[in-house]
Each structure stands twice: as structure tokens, then as C-alpha cells.
Chains A and B, each alone.
Chain A
Amino acid sequence: GENVEQHPSTLSVQEGDSAVIKCTYSDSASNYFPWYKQELGKRPQLIIDIRSNVGEKKDQRIAVTLNKTAKHFSLHITETQPEDSAVYFCAASIGNGGATNKLIFGTGTLLAVQP
């Protein structure tokens, strides 16, 4: 069935360093890949997303890359700051007019940015 694997489960970096989180999806029909940030006790919030017709997308310090052949996508955060500390979830969905567009989430990465 549909599955998304996410690594690493925890990641500790020094402030100013880069952080990379990697995900792999199983369903080749997936065509939408959002990343959510969830702070303790708060709702998941979208930070960036990418669609399958694009290989890379960047928004300030955050970038996402997609390799459809390998079914891999990754989140890159540069110049990390303490406020980036949170749990990050990748997700995949099949989006078309008739689909549910339900999100299949990875298991999350706890990012700790040390000042």
C-alpha cells in the first residue's frame, strides 16, 4: 500500500548549519509532496510543497528537491535558527480531479537547532 519513509528520526545541528531531511514514497502515482512543521502542542503547518512537474523549489532558507525516478524527495534548511526547532513531516498524495488527495505522512524528524 501507500507508504512514506522519512529519515532521520532526530537531527541535531548547530545554529547556522544546514539540515537535510529525506523521504521516500512508494506509490508512483503520487504527484504532490508537502512538508509540514509541527511545534510542540501545535497544529501542523505547511512550510513548502512541490508538485511532480517540478524538480526543485526554494523559498528563502528552505528548499525541496524531488527525484521522481527514485521516488525520493528532500527538505533542505540553510542557516538554521533556534526557531527552526520542531518536528518536520513529509507527505505524499495523489492529486487529480477525482482523487481523495489524502496525505500519507512520514514518521517525522525532530530537528533541534543548538544555539
Chain B
Amino acid sequence: DTGVSQDPRHKITKRGQNVTFRCDPISEHNRLYWYRQTLGQGPEFLTYFQNEAQLEKSRLLSDRFSAERPKGSFSTLEIQRTEQGDSAMYLCASSPGTANTEAFFGQGTRLTVV
């Protein structure tokens, strides 16, 4: 599969634990996005990378959230001190560098905080 891949697909964690998710975008795509989707809602933008630079962060992204894309390829999203409200599907998407082009989504990581 040459699409966007995310790992793990599912994560169950206890409240207060830290979790880290990984996203591998389509190889030639330099734009990478993280979104969060809760049940019955559309995906909500969290953060954006162009190559290795994190250029925008949503106010939804509290201090407990951090994202990296160290070499401009894969990205990680870490949530520290997880809370039950963090339970959601975390989606990664990538697109080419040109404007107004399709964003390709990964399968997502479903996080459940118990």
C-alpha cells in the first residue's frame, strides 16, 4: 500500500499515560496534517507541517500535545498525561506542495482513554 499509513490503528491507555502515534505520508508529499475526529463530527484540524517545519497549530492543540516531523518524512503526535476527552480518532493526511490539491488520509489511530 503506497498510501498514508498510521500506526498503531488502535490504542487503549489509562488516564495520565503518554501516547505517541506515527504517520508515514505518501513519499513525495511535503505537506502533512494531523486532524482529530470524534464520533458524529467531521475531522478537526490540529497541526500542519511543510517538510520539517511546523507552520500552524490549532488552538485545539493544548500544551499536552506535541508533533514532530524531524526529517520531513514521517511524523509523530504525542499526547502527554492523557485525559478521557482525548479519546478520538487521530487522522493524518498528506498532500503535494501545490495549492488546492487532494489531501490523502490515513486509516487513523483510534485512541481510547480509560
Contacts and interface: CB of A to CB of B under 8 A. Distances in A.
Interface of A: 4, 6, 31-32, 34, 36, 42-46, 49, 51, 89, 91, 93, 95-97, 99-108
B44 A105 contact: yes
A96 B43 CA distance: 22
B102 interface: yes
A108 B55 CA distance: 27
Contact of A101 (B91, B95, B104): B95
A4 B101 CA distance: 19
B56 A100 contact: yes
B74 interface: no
Contact of B91 (A44, A51, A100): A44
Interface of B: 4, 31, 33, 35, 40-45, 48, 55-56, 91, 93, 95, 99-108
A80 B34 CA distance: 32
B106 A43 contact: yes
Contact of A108 (B42, B44, B56, B108): B42
B41 A108 contact: yes
Contacts of A32: 99-100
A106 B4 CA distance: 23
14 contacts: A31-B100, A43-B4, A43-B91, A46-B102, A46-B104, A49-B100, A91-B42, A95-B100, A96-B99, A97-B99, A99-B99, A101-B31, A101-B101, A103-B93
